[in-house]
Copies of this chain bind each other. A is one copy, B any other.
Amino acid sequence: MSSRNDTISGEAIKEYLDWLGQIGSDAEGGVSRLLYSKEWIEAQESLKKLFEDEGLNVQFDEVGNLFGRLEGTTYPDETILTGSHVDTVTNGGLYDGQYGIIAGFLALRYLKEKYGAPLRNLEVVSMAEEEGSRFPYSFWGSKNITGQAKTEDVQGIKDFEGTSFDDAIHQAGFDYKQHPEHVRTDLKSFVEIHVEQGNVLEKEDIPVGIVQHIVGQRRYTITVNGEANHAGTTPMGYRADAMNAASRMICAINDMAIAEGDPLVATVGSIFLEPNTVNVVPGKATFTIDIRHTEKDALTNFTTDVEAKLQEIAEQIGVAVDIDLWMDADPVPMNQHIVDVMQKQCDENGAHYKLMHSGAGHDSQVIAPVIPTAMLFVPSHKGISHNPKEYTSPDHLAEGVQALISTLYELGYTE
Q: Which of B237, B269, B380 contacts A231 (CB 8 A)?
A: B269
Q: Taking the nearest CB of chain B, how far is it from the CB of A271, in angstroms?
A: 6
Q: Does A298 interact with chain B (Cβ within 8 Å)?
A: no
Q: Mark A218-248, 1 if CB is under 8 A from B, else 0.
A: 0100000001011111111110010110111
A5 CB-CB contact with B under 8 Å:
no
Residue in A247, A276, A290 whose Cβ sees the most chain B Cβ within 10 Å: A247
* A233: chain B residues within 8 A (beta carbon): 196-200, 358-360, 380, 383, 385
Which of A273, A277, A278 has the most chain B CB atoms inside 10 A of its CB?
Answer: A278
Q: Is the CB of B265 within 8 A of A231?
A: yes
In the complex, which residue of chain B has the Cβ closest to the Cβ of A198?
Answer: B233
Q: At the interface, yes or no: A25 with Cβ under 8 Å from chain B?
A: no
Closest B-chain residue to A246, C-beta based?
B247
Is A217 interfacial (CB 8 A cutoff)? yes
Question: Which chain B residues border A264 with CB–CB below 8 Å?
Answer: 236
Contact call B230/A360, Cβ cutoff below 8 A: yes
Q: Does A254 contact B (CB under 8 A)?
A: yes
> What CA separation (Å) do A358 and B263 show in the bound complex?
52
Docked pose: A292 CA to B246 CA in angstroms? 22
**Chain B residues positioned under 8 Å from A278 (CB to CB):** 219, 267, 269-270, 288, 290
A279 within 8 A of B: yes
State in angstroms the CA–CA spacing of A254 and B236 once bound together. 8
Are A271 and B271 in touch, CB under 8 angstroms? Answer: yes
| A244–B251 touching, CB < 8 Å | yes
Q: Using an 8 Å CB-CB cutoff, how does the interface string of A287-308 with B read, 1 for contact, 0 for none? A: 0101010000000000000000
CB pair B251 A251 closer than 8 Å:
yes
Tell me the complex Cα distance, A269–B278, Å.
5
Q: Which of B237, B243, B254, B290 contacts A279 (CB 8 A)?
A: B290
Q: Which of B279, B360, B382 meets A232, CB within 8 Å?
A: B360
A285 to chain B minimum Cβ distance, whole angstroms, is: 9
CB–CB A271/B243 < 8 A? yes
Closest B residue to A385 by CB, please name it: B230
**In chain A between 255 and 285, which residues have their CB closer than 8 angstroms to a CB of chain B?**
257-258, 261-271, 273, 276-282
A253 to chain B, nearest CB (A): 9
Q: Are B279 and A269 in contact (CB under 8 A)?
A: yes
Q: Which residues of B contact A217 (CB under 8 A)?
A: 232
Q: B247 contacts A232, CB within 8 Å?
A: no
A residues contacting B by CB (< 8 A) are 196-200, 203, 215, 217, 219, 227, 229-238, 241, 243-244, 246-248, 250-251, 254, 257-258, 261-271, 273, 276-282, 288, 290, 292, 358-361, 380, 382-383, 385
CB pairs A–B below 8 angstroms (11 shown): A198-B233, A215-B232, A231-B359, A232-B292, A234-B265, A236-B262, A237-B258, A238-B383, A267-B278, A267-B280, A269-B276
Going nearest first, the 9 A-B pairs with the smallest beta carbon separation are A198-B233, A232-B359, A231-B267, A233-B359, A247-B250, A247-B247, A278-B288, A270-B276, A232-B360
